[in-house]
Amino acid sequence: MLKILVTAIIPQEALKTVPENFSVDMFKKKRTMNYSEIYEKFKNTRYYAILCTYKDKIDQAILEVAKPDLKVVVTMSKGTDHINISECQKSGIEVYNIQNVTTDAVADYGIALLLIGVRRLDQILKHKHNHETWYYLWNLNGLSLSQATIGIVGLGNIGKAIAQRLTGFKSKILYYSKQRKLDAEQEYGLHFTSFEKLLQESDAIIVCCSLNQETKNLFSLDAFLKMKSSSIFINIARSEVCNQNDLYHALNYKQIGMALLDVTTPEPLPVSHPLNQLENCIIFPHMATNVTDSRINLCNLALQKIYQSALSLIKY
């Protein structure tokens, strides 16, 4: 019997397809496992595979205690920066990430945050019992997306899906990416530009790039100072793409208009954190992929990676 450690609750639908030669040990609390809990699990039990989240740090210490039984690490995320890839390779441990399954869910969510920002829907909810809000013409004026310039940072699958949706709103779309995407430019009418020009001209910026050495702290105070004072900053990528202290400074001193964040460091951000004290900063609990069908498909695909790996080992 091959054991799989799952560090967070996954849909029961995904567990219905578990082959009889596998057993799943799923963490059942309404949070992901912490580091010490994962370490103790590997210390006391032999697991063939671990199905983890982006929050779970799979470092050398974890891998050392998990060897030699651990053969597969699958993360329910596109990013793998929380996994010590080089150590896995040295130890013959296969590593898999999951791509494209949640693209539509994340793109929809990015547009939802954009609409909240440009129409100031957060303020409507805050003042829903204030009748003046409903009658005074100039209260909470928003911005029409058909008249807006939207900047997309990172034109991978999610960035393209966001661009596709924005064409329906008739927005002008700028993008900054590691590589120019001529096919996307032609299909969606995008404008490839420098990072600096995107900062200067965008009414709202949606960040959906991957995290690497080039993008870490890409949004620092220097970047925020180049943005419009009314601009909206939306981060659905990784929190480390943005320097949170600099973001607080930019928001607090009205150097940019507003921020909507799906990611922070740490998660959740303490209630007392300065960003939580700002009216022009809205923080969501990393829920971009929280769509039932996407979650089921994500977990099914992740488990299939483990089953297929086991078959290849048995075969050879």
pLDDT of residue 17: 84
Question: What confidence tens digit (pLDDT) does each residue in 80-103 have?
Answer: 989 999 999 999 999 999 988 999
**DSSP element (H, E) containing 262:** none
Question: What confidence tens digit (pLDDT) does each residue in 177-204 have?
Answer: 999 999 999 999 999 999 999 999 999 9
In the sheet where 204-207 sits, what is the strand order? Answer: 191-192, 172-176, 149-153, 204-207, 232-235, 258-261, 281-283
pLDDT of residue 117: 96
pLDDT of residue 310: 87
DSSP letter at 269 equals P
pLDDT of residue 47: 97
Two structure tokens written together for 229 = 């004072």
CB distance 309 to 94 below 8 Å: yes
pLDDT of residue 217: 98
Backbone angles phi, psi at 199, to 5 degrees: -60, -45
Q: Please give the Cα distance from 143 to 117 (Å, whole number).
A: 9
Question: What confidence tens digit (pLDDT) does each residue in 118-159 have?
Answer: 998 887 777 666 666 555 555 667 899 999 999 999 999 999
Those residues with Cβ within 8 angstroms of residue 236's Cβ, 6 or more apart along the chain or in another chain: 106, 109, 110, 113, 158, 206, 207, 208, 262, 263, 288
Domains of the chain, first to last: 2-98+293-315 (3.40.50.720), 103-283 (3.40.50.720)
pLDDT of residue 124: 73
pLDDT of residue 140: 66
Question: Could you tell me the pTM of the whole model?
Answer: 0.87
Per the listing, tokens 């693209």 go with 103
Q: Please give the Cα distance from 121 to 139 (Å, whole number).
A: 12
pLDDT of residue 315: 46
DSSP letter at 260 equals E
Task: Let me know if 129 is a catalytic residue.
Answer: no
DSSP letter at 282 equals E
240-275 burial, b at 16+ Cβ within 10 Å, e below that, comes to bbbbbebbbebbeeebbbbbbbbbbeeeebeeebbb
Q: Please give the Cα distance from 300 to 129 (Å, whole number).
A: 44
SS3 at position 43? helix
Catalytic residue, candidates 82, 191, 273, 286: 286
Which residues of the chain are modeled with pLDDT < 50? 315-316
Q: Which among 45, 210, 44, 76 has a CA at the least distance from the CA of 58? A: 76
